[in-house]
Chain A
Amino acid sequence: MLAAGVLLALAAVPGAPMACPTPAAADEGDPTRFTVALLNEVDSFNPFLGIEVESYEMWALTYDYLTSLAVDDLSVEPALATEWESSEDGLTWTFTIRDDVEWSDGEPLTADDLSFTYNRVLEGGPWGATWKSWLAGVAEVSAPDATTLVMDLERPNSVLPMVPIPIVPEHVWSDVSTDDIKSYAAEPSDGQPVVGSGPFRLVEGTAGGSTYRFEANPDYWKGAPHVDEVAFRVFKSEDPAVQALVKGEVDYVEGISALQVRSLEGREGILAQNAGTTGFDEISFNAGSIDVETGEPIGDPNPAVLDPAFRYALSFAVDRERIAETVYQGAGAPGSTIVPPAVGRFHWEPPAEEVAYDPERAAELLDEAGYTVGDDGMRTLPDGSPIGTLRLFARSDSATSTDVMTYFQEWLADLGIDAEVSTVESTRLTDIILEGEFDAFEWGWYVDADPTSMLSYMTCDQLGAWSDSWYCNEEYDRLFEQQGSELDEDARVEQIHRMQEILVRDAPYIVTVYNTEGQAVRSDRFACLQSQPSPDGAWLFQQGTHSYLSMRPADQAGDCDGLTSATGGDDPAGGSDGVGTGFVVGAAVVGGLLVVGAAVFLLRRRATSGDRE
């Protein structure tokens, strides 16, 4: 008991002064540090290996890109490339590269570094794992001089000039062999930060570790950041992360639930929001699982779900607003197509009646397609035989999946269709999907700033690869090919809209909600974070490092250099109860423990002396 008291005392005394929130930049000598709570680890600081969204954020701080995406509407804007032009046929792209950028070790960044990075990606294998699809059609990249980059293409690529591949320094990475790259960490070593050109430098941190620390790059070509350091702390559960924000141990939390956002809203000194993201969740049908080699059907989909008319009818039986409100607790907006509105002009918004909750229309459409109600009140297949029980799958690792499918099951029952819900792990569901042993499941996707990858998952080429609905439609595939090499942007947008229209009609997916991401910031300590896209977009985890460059301590916010849609500076922390109180109360608690310990000790002595008599 005494020992425990002493341990507590030892632990608490030096801690007490640190435990209270200190206003940002309280002391002149202390660096201003912006601390972010993450709910997941960085899986690799090597941009050729990492996959988690947290890692993408770390690379964005460390490296630069050919072009970046604007904060307000995600349009392409200059970064390392100041200007660019493509030949008439779209087969040659020429970029002018900045001449005033330096690596953190003092070497100049030139077009050679860009061509080195891209050529490594084109080499494929472990170098190309994450990025190769962004350079589709590119045959060769060269740097005729230090400020010129030329891309030669075999076929036009409509995604250019958007290339979200971090540019790494050739003089460091050219020594890394293709075999070594598979486990090359790209982390600080011997106290030397990672060589990069971005606005911050990673000085501490390892993949899978729980803290990462970055120092500002005072010479950054877009201008020095207004904070000295950015640090990340990994929390493995949500509640403690939110508690840490309330307490002031961290300045920002990312990825919290809508309930937490609600509990933080209105708290003094904290701003919280559900930011729009490019993610969506869907109910996917088995539109025709086949053996890719032979083309023979595999698995055992119900004949009904193979029929586009049946699936289209069911899309009216899903109450998307109810799902967004009750299952997602407001952390999601009713969905419509596989290209969310946050992706910008590529999104096609169907006419309201096409994505409405209309069970009567669902019943009508089912009747028209031959799925009529039999004597027992259940619908039958057009040939008169019973539909049987549809097998719906939900994911156990999602908080919302099972609820959505249970609702769906009820709505199907209302229409006279029997269904059962099984909840399995995502890994197991992956196998079930590949075997075609399902009728429908619930899952979701995140869509890149350019929707090409997402659109490709619905093509016939992806059967057996990334297609999870086994959907295959020749007209859709033809449009996909067209938009991939379409050089006229308006025409491309038109084609992508048409593709979404086809998917709404054929309904391999019923897009249930567009996801939001809960975020909260200590606005009493930091201000001038920008939303991307404005006005409801994310404050951090954006395309680019906009907020990291614009944020500053709240007491230095001013008008945020005239930035629109930036979080304003509240009153700088008046609520901090100061160092002194914390110390006094801490000392009082320790004193109390010591007194209790001493009392217990004395009582024990008395008891044993009683024994002796």
Chain B
Amino acid sequence: MTFPASPELVQEATEQDRPRHRGYARYALGKAGGALGSLGFLLVLNFFLFRVLPGDPARTLGRGRFSTQEQLDDFNQAYGLDEPLAQQFLTYLGNTLTGDLGISLRYRVPVSELILDRIGPTLLLVGTSTLLAALIGIWLGTRSAWRRGGVFDRVSTGTSLTLYSMPEWWLGLMLIATLAVGLGPLPGLFPTGGLHSVDADPWSVGGVLDTIRHLTLPVTTLTLAYLADYALVMRSSLLDEMGSDYLTTARAKGLRDAAVRNRHAVPNALLPTTTVIALNFGFVVTGAITVETVFSIPGLGLLATEALEIPDYWVLQGTFLVAAAAVILANLLANLAYGLLDPRVRT
């Protein structure tokens, strides 16, 4: 599905080209500066936010394994936890700026490696689901609004609201119990969990198909859960547009109903949906903890939640940094896109 920009907008833009460009550059720079400022603030907050957590990593990890005070001290010394907080902060700043995110206290491997290992599954799972949910949701919302109150509207709005209110883990477990384990004559079509089979080579054709098979149920779960977000926003913003004069004009010009909808109404109604999509894509890297848990997908959401129990400071800092930076970036992109789509926001 493509949504060509409304001809009015395009025409306007070409008419007063030069001043617009300068205005946009200033707008874009302002937004980029703001994003950079947030990032700097984040860098500082990141360190202190997790230090106020209760608990002591050496004691959580060493419970039942270390048996003397000496072993506790050795651990704290080896991982720099015995240094004064100010010193630790400086080390953190220096390391982060050079791209070193520290060593995980639980897994004892560099945090950047852990995040790289985990970001793939998360992007695949949440990214695919967000994309599918957005596409299907926009389509549902458009159709519902265009025939408001019709059978399609009632069924689709009702269904997406029901799915929205269902706990994701429950939906996932139901899918596992039916489609993964098999029910009656229906055999188990999909695996119960994981990202790939034990000995699958992820880079071969068979491996890719294997991963698709593993991801089908979790992606279905998340897509169904996310659907309402997009369908409802799209529906209500299209309803807002439907009484507009320009649509009456378009109809008076003799355009077919589908053309009025797709070329005139939808592009204008897409603005709020664009915001929702951009923001949600920013949150993709935070993962989907419940679905990752139910389907045992080794993603970033689980990594961060489990790090809280220790607390594994460097993993928490690393995942938080990546997640927050993604949100800031997505926001910036949404702002920049907005500036292009709707010149009014530049002032």
Contact = CB atoms under 8 A, between A and B. Distances in A.
B6 to A, nearest CB: 21
Contact of A427 (B55, B187, B292, B298): B55
The range of chain B's interface size is 35 or more
A124 interface: yes
A8 B179 CA distance: 12
A612 B69 contact: no
B173 A239 contact: yes
Contacts of A262: none
B189 A15 contact: yes
Interface stretch (A43-51, A407-415, A538-546): A43-51
A44 B108 contact: yes
B193 A133 contact: no
Contacts of A426: 55, 60, 309
Given A43-B106, A183-B103, A430 B55 contact: yes
A464 interface: yes
Contacts of B190: 11-12, 15, 19
A430 B60 contact: yes
A581 interface: yes
A399 to B, nearest CB: 15
A425 B213 CA distance: 37
B213 A14 contact: yes
A246 interface: yes
Contacts of A457: 67
A445 interface: yes
A125 B193 contact: no
Contact of A183 (B77, B110, B193, B197): B110
B199 A213 contact: yes
Contacts of B107: 43-44, 207-208
B253 interface: no
Interface residues of A, number: 79
Contacts of B136: 4
Contacts of B327: none
Given A43-B107, A132-B70, A247-B182, A233 B198 contact: yes
B75 interface: yes
Interface string A172-191: 00000000001111000000
A611 B65 contact: no
Interface stretch (A63-71, A355-363, A522-530, A582-590): A582-590
Contacts of A446: 64
Interface in A40-89: 43-44, 46, 49, 51
Nearest to A604: B143
Interface in B170-198: 173, 176-177, 180-182, 185-198
A236 B296 contact: yes
A128 B73 CA distance: 12
A10 B106 contact: no
B25 to A, nearest CB: 39
Interface string B276-302: 000000000000000011111010001
Contacts of B109: 44, 183, 185, 206-208
B256 A129 contact: no
B90 interface: no
A586 B177 CA distance: 16
Nearest to A124: B74
Given A46-B108, A126-B74, A208-B298, A235 B193 contact: yes
A230 to B, nearest CB: 10
Given A126-B78, A182-B108, A204-B199, A247 B185 contact: no
B119 interface: no
Interface in B37-74: 53-56, 59-62, 64-72, 74
B69 A243 contact: no
Contacts of A125: 74, 77-78
Contact of B192 (A12, A204, A244, A464): A244
B212 interface: yes
B5 interface: no
Contacts of A12: 189-190, 213, 216
A406 interface: no
Most chain B C-beta atoms within 10 Å of own C-beta, residue among A20, A237, A456, A586: A237
B252 interface: no
B67 A208 contact: no
A515 B301 CA distance: 31
A46 B212 CA distance: 33
A608 B258 contact: yes
A182 B103 contact: yes
B266 to A, nearest CB: 15
Contacts of B193: 233, 235-236, 240-241, 244
Contacts of B132: 4
Interface in B292-317: 292-296, 298, 302-303, 309-311
B188 A247 contact: yes
Contacts of B4: none
A405 to B, nearest CB: 19
Contacts of B212: 7, 10-11
Interface string B105-136: 01111100010010000000000000010001
Nearest to A292: B69
Contacts of B209: 10-11, 14-15
A577 B309 contact: no
Given A213-B198, A427-B55, A247 B189 contact: no
B296 A206 contact: no
A54 B209 CA distance: 30
B325 to A, nearest CB: 22
A496 B26 CA distance: 78
Interface in A204-253: 204, 206-211, 213, 231, 233-237, 239-241, 243-244, 246-247, 249
A326 B194 CA distance: 34
A18 B213 CA distance: 11
A244 B117 CA distance: 24
25 contacts: A7-B212, A7-B216, A15-B191, A16-B187, A19-B182, A19-B188, A33-B198, A46-B108, A51-B61, A129-B78, A130-B66, A132-B68, A133-B66, A183-B108, A207-B108, A210-B296, A236-B296, A239-B173, A239-B176, A243-B176, A247-B192, A427-B60, A427-B310, A430-B56, A466-B66
Interface of B: 53-56, 59-62, 64-72, 74-75, 77-79, 103-104, 106-110, 114, 117, 132, 136, 169, 173, 176-177, 180-182, 185-199, 206, 209-210, 212-213, 216, 256-258, 292-296, 298, 302-303, 309-311
